[in-house]
Chain A
Amino acid sequence: MSNLAKSRKFFSGIVPVLAFFALWEIGANYVPNGLISRPSRVFVAMAREFAGGELFRQTGISLSRILLGFSVAAVGGIVFGFALGTFFRRMERFFLPFFQVCEKLNPFAIIPVFMILFGVGTLEKAAVVFWASFWPVLFNTQFAAKAVDPQLMLAARSMGANRAELFAGVILPYTMPGIFTGLKLAVRVAFFMIIASEVIGASTGLGWFYVRSSALYKLDLMYGSILYITLLSILANFIFERLEKHFMSWKEDAFS
């Protein structure tokens, strides 16, 4: 993409966002007091919390919980997905139905269970994140690994590839797009679940910061937290999009 096209894309994307904030700012005048805040005040309030260090601290706490739960889910999901999709495919019919039931379990309903099992705290929050983000990684990896083009396997075998070389040279790269699909889904649910678990029972973290703002009736901070959490999750998604683009440059872009 040329620089001109890039900046055009950026501006056409930013216009509705600016319009939204402008409408919000103006619209706030016509809503009874105490229901919504206005963006200008939201930004100031949030800036103050950042300056005081409080928001940084809570962000760090939430992100580290996400990182813990998500990375265990990612590694576990990829390993299990490969195992069930390739060399231990015979195990699939034992495990898959059970895993599919697990996935259907409402992850919000599991939060109290984990609170009892792990005690309220970082471990419990990370476990909730893990539980929700494990399945998309597992299923997408397994699905992609199963779908590896047999012709490519034959081509590699005919050139003398052993099992390890087949894995590194064919199965892994073939499965990469599926793994990324799973990771991107997982990162989204990870952000959903961390806030949910911190809202229900916590004394730290962004979810806690958010409910405390509303409990103390600090509307500026409440709306600010929502915006901020959304922004963080967009950023995380953006990182994975970039990573995917970087690794997937060989893939045809159907809509370019």
Chain B
Amino acid sequence: MSGADRIAAGGVTAHENNRPPKIEIHGIERIFLKKNETNGAQESFVALKDVNLKVESGEFVTVVGPSGCGKSTLLFLLSGLASPSRGEILINGDKVTGPALNCGIVLQGYALFPWRSVRKNIEFGLELKSVPKKERKEISDYYINLVDLTGFENHYPYQLSGGMQQRVAIARVLAYDPDVLLMDEPFAAVDAQTRETMQDELLNIWEKTQKTIVLVTHNIEEAIGLADRVAVMSRNPGTIRDVVPVNLPRPRRIGGVRNTPDFQILSHHIWELLQDKGSRGGSGAQSAAVPRVDIGEHIRDDAVI
């Protein structure tokens, strides 16, 4: 399906065979109780308000926004690690009520178990599922190979570079085979060169495994380079300002699209949305006035400038 179709559908993808969306986020609100710094009184803080989003099966959606706008909170709600104060989230049409194995999350920071080797980290979820040892080994072998860590099976996390640790974290989630993959700023802590390699690896894995991915980042280039659609968030209260379709060719490598005019235009558009200068997308999350960025097509003047 092309990005143009998505635009035609008003930013929300209507899947070919009319299956329900993989993920549906309906009117989410998340309130935290915080202690006031000065008088110590309990205050409620609205971290997320009126968040709506639908993600199709096999789609790659990125969420970009300034720090503190509630990106991590949103992923926590999606993963079932926390529950919304209002609204509901459906995955495969079922309401999310707690952590479920059809949904895997790669947390900000790597969250590897320091006392477990690479292999044992990757097998953690399988152990919880009581997968027999022999089968566990076959599965971990496969994912160790997939994330290019062969030869490091018996290393402990402290013996690995940041990039390698991140690959273990990804393999650990992939190993128990969730169909939705949530990733919280997975490449924020690795150097630029490693980051690009890993982004391409992730695209490669996504193409191979057909997973639905929601990836959070504060990097515009990363958001565009990876995504089918970019959800742009704003702060105070945290909400989705706009969902921008990315119609860059697939299969895609970041280096191959980064310098195209379409990429630059998208990048500028999202940058403006983040600066709070772009056109408002109405009360809902999806914008009616998204820029058309089909390759070779002219860009509507009013959309981006």
A residues at B contact (CB < 8 Å): 149, 151-152, 154-161, 165, 169-170, 173-174, 176, 249-252
Contacts and interface: CB of A to CB of B under 8 A. Distances in A.
Interface in B101-155: 101, 103-105, 107-109, 111, 113-117, 124-125, 127-129
Contacts of A157: 81, 99
Given A154-B81, A155-B107, A252-B158, A160 B116 contact: no
B79 interface: yes
Interface string B76-118: 0001110000000000000000011101110111010111110
A154 B106 CA distance: 10
A156 B81 CA distance: 10
A22 B115 CA distance: 46
Given A169-B124, A250-B116, A250-B156, A159 B111 contact: no
B105 to A, nearest CB: 5
Nearest to B127: A169
B60 interface: no
Contact of B109 (A151, A159, A165): A151
Given A169-B124, A173-B115, A160 B129 contact: yes
Interface residues of B, number: 26
Contact of A158 (B99, B129, B156): B99
B176 interface: yes
Contacts of A158: 79-81, 99, 103-105, 107
Contacts of A159: 99, 101, 104, 124-125, 128, 176
Given A159-B101, A173-B115, A250-B114, 17 more contacts: A151-B111, A152-B111, A155-B107, A155-B111, A155-B113, A156-B128, A157-B81, A158-B107, A159-B104, A159-B125, A160-B100, A160-B129, A161-B128, A250-B117, A250-B158, A251-B114, A251-B115
9 contacts: A155-B113, A156-B128, A157-B81, A158-B99, A158-B107, A159-B104, A159-B176, A250-B115, A251-B158
Contacts of A160: 99-101, 125, 128-129
Contacts of B176: 159
A168 to B, nearest CB: 10
Contacts, number: 61
A38 to B, nearest CB: 50
Interface in B36-57: none
Contacts of B115: 173-174, 176, 250-251
Interchain residue pairs A-B with the least CB separation, the first 10: A159-B125, A155-B111, A151-B111, A252-B158, A250-B115, A173-B115, A250-B156, A158-B105, A158-B99, A160-B128
Contacts of B125: 159-160
Given A159-B101, A160-B101, A252-B158, A154 B129 contact: no
A251 B159 CA distance: 10
> By CB atoms of chain B within 10 A, which of A159, A170, A251 has the most?
A159
A23 B130 CA distance: 64
B215 to A, nearest CB: 16
A157 B76 CA distance: 11
A161 B125 CA distance: 8
Contacts of A161: 128
B186 to A, nearest CB: 13
A251 B176 CA distance: 27
A165 B128 contact: yes
